[in-house]
Amino acid sequence: MKDASILLLPGDGIGPEVVTELRKVMDWFSSNRGFNFTIHEDDLGGAAYDRYGTPLAEETLARAKQVDAIVMGSVGGPKWDNVERHLRPEAGLLTLRKELDLFANLRPATCRPALASASSLREELVSGLDILILRELTAGVYFGEPRGIETLADGRRRALDTQVYFESEIERLLHAGFELAGKRNGKVHSVEKANVMETGVFWREIATRVGKAYPEIQLEHMYADNCAMQLVRAPKQFDVIATDNLFGDILSDCAAMLTGSLGMLPSASLGALIDGKRAALYEPVHGSAPDIAGEGKANPLATVLSFAMCLRYSLDSNEEADLLEKAVDQVLDNNIRTIDIAASGVDPVSTSEMGQALLTALDSLNHSQ
Ligand code: NAD
C-alpha cells in the first residue's frame, strides 16, 4: 500500500527529537520508493495536556480512528508529576490503546549482528536472535475487577487484583500469534501458568483448540516461569511467544535485555481486522528519557524500527521494511553509534547525525539493488 495516512504523535521528552529523524526517513521513502504519505501531526501526553488541557484531545482520537497507522514517540516527564492521575501523560496513551482496542502487542527481540556483544548474555547465545513476544494488552489482571485495597470488618487490610479473561480475548490473541508465526519461523510457544491458575488452564485449552486450525505451525505450551528461565538460557529456541498481559509485560522486558539497548527496541500494537482495516499504533519501547531530552543524544533507531514494523504490518511493504532494517544494520556495522550503544573508544554521534547516516545507508542500499 503506497498511499497511506499516518498520524504522528511525537509526545514528550526525546519523543519530538526521534520523530524528527523518522520524518526524514518517511520523506526518503516518498522520494525514492513511490510512497504517498498523508501525514497528520498532533500532540499526545504532556504536550497535549499543555496545549489542550487533556493528554488526548477528542479531535486527536477522532483522527487516530481514521488513519491507516499511528506512529508515536514517547510520553511523560517530571513536569506533569503533580497532575491528576487521569490527566497524566500516560493516561493519554492508555486511552488511545483502549479506544482503538489494540489488544495485540508485538515486541520483537532481534539481536542486530553488530550489537551482539552488547547483550547481557554470551554472544553465541544471542547472535542471530529473532523472537517475537506477543502480549495481550487490553485485558487480564491489569484491568480485572474487583480490585483495590480494603479494610475488612475485623480490621485486617488487604489488596486484591483480578485476573480475568474471556474466551474471545484469548482466541483472538492466539489467532494473531499463529498468523504471525506463519510469516516467520512457524513456531508458537503459548505461555501461562496452567499448573496453578484457572486462567492458565483455560488459556491452554483454547491455545490447543485454536492451534488445530494451523496444522503447519508447531505449538508448544510452556509455564511462564520456565519461559523466563529459557529466555536467558537458550533464547534462540523461540519464534513467537504468545502470552497474557502480565506475563507478557515481564517476559518482553526480559527478552529486551538480550538485545542490548532500550534505544533499539520497536513495538506495534494492533487491533482486530474490521472491514479490511486494522487499527495500529507503532512506538519505541523506551520512554521520554527526561535525563537526556533536548541534548541531541537520543537514539532514534527504535522509532525508525517501529516504522519498519508499520511498513510490514500496516502497509504490506515487506521489501521496504527489509530495506530499512538493513540500513540500520549497515549504520551499526559502520560503527556509527549514539551514546546508549557506543562501544568503548568510539565517539558517539548525535540524534540528527544518526538520522543522516541512516539516509546515506538507504541511498547506498537503494542504488546497489
Ligand atoms: P526511559 O525509557 O525514558 O529511560 C530509561 C533510560 O534509558 C534513561 O537513562 C534514558 O536516558 C535511556 N534511554 C531511553 N531511551 C533512549 C534512547 N532512545 N536513546 C538513548 N537513551 C535512551 O524510562 P524512565 O526513565 O523510566 O521513564 C521516563 C518517562 O518516560 C516517565 O515519565 C515514564 O512514565 C515515561 N515512559 C513512557 C513510555 C511510553 O511513552 N510508552 C514508556 C516508558 C516510560
Strands of the chain (E only): list them: 3-11, 36-41, 69-74, 104-110, 130-136, 144-151, 157-162, 187-192, 218-223, 240-243, 266-274, 277-284
Q: Minimal CA–CA distance to 309: which of 362, 353, 262, 269?
A: 269
Do the domains spanning 1-103+271-369 and 111-252 agree at the CATH topology level? yes
**Catalytic residue set:** 142, 193, 225, 249, 253
Best substitution site from 70, 93, 262, 304 to test ligand 1's pocket, by max atoms within 8 Å of Cβ? Answer: 262
To the question of domain 111-252 being in CATH 3.40.50.720, the answer is no
CATH number for domain 1-103+271-369, candidates 1.10.620.20, 3.40.718.10, 3.40.50.2000, 3.50.50.60:
3.40.718.10
- Which residue ranges make up each domain of the chain? 1-103+271-369, 111-252
Q: Look up the pTM and report it.
A: 0.92
Look at residue 283 in the predicted model and tell me its pLDDT.
97
| Cα angle: 302, vertex 220, 198; to 5 degrees | 95
Give me the phi and psi of 334, to 5 degrees please. -80, 10
Strand 266-274 to 104-110 pairing: antiparallel
Look at residue 259 in the predicted model and tell me its pLDDT.
83
Look at residue 91 in the predicted model and tell me its pLDDT.
94
Q: At how many degrees (to 10) do helices 351-368 and 15-33 cross?
A: 20
CA 123 to the chain's CA centroid: 24
Best substitution site from 286, 341, 350 to test ligand 1's pocket, by max atoms within 8 Å of Cβ? Answer: 286
Q: Is 243 exposed, middle or buried (0-12, 13-18, 19+ CB in 10 A)?
A: buried
Distance (Å, whole) CA 89 – CA 93: 7
Stretch (H or E) spanning 321: helix 318-333
pLDDT 10s digit of each residue in the chain, 369 long?
899 999 999 999 999 999 999 999 999 999 999 999 999 999 999 999 999 999 999 999 999 999 999 999 999 999 999 999 899 999 999 899 989 999 999 999 999 888 888 788 888 999 889 999 999 999 999 999 999 999 999 999 999 999 999 999 999 999 999 999 998 999 999 999 999 999 999 999 999 999 999 999 999 999 999 999 999 999 999 999 999 999 999 999 899 888 877 889 999 999 988 888 899 999 999 999 999 999 999 999 999 999 999 999 999 999 999 999 999 999 999 999 999 988 778 899 999 999 999 999 999 999 887
Distance (Å, whole) CA 135 – CA 42: 27
| Sign of the CA dihedral running 55, 57, 58, 59 | negative
In ligand 1, the atom with minimum distance to the C-alpha of 290 is 28
Q: Is the CB of 90 under 6 A from ligand 1?
A: yes
Look at residue 117 in the predicted model and tell me its pLDDT.
81
Look at residue 342 in the predicted model and tell me its pLDDT.
86
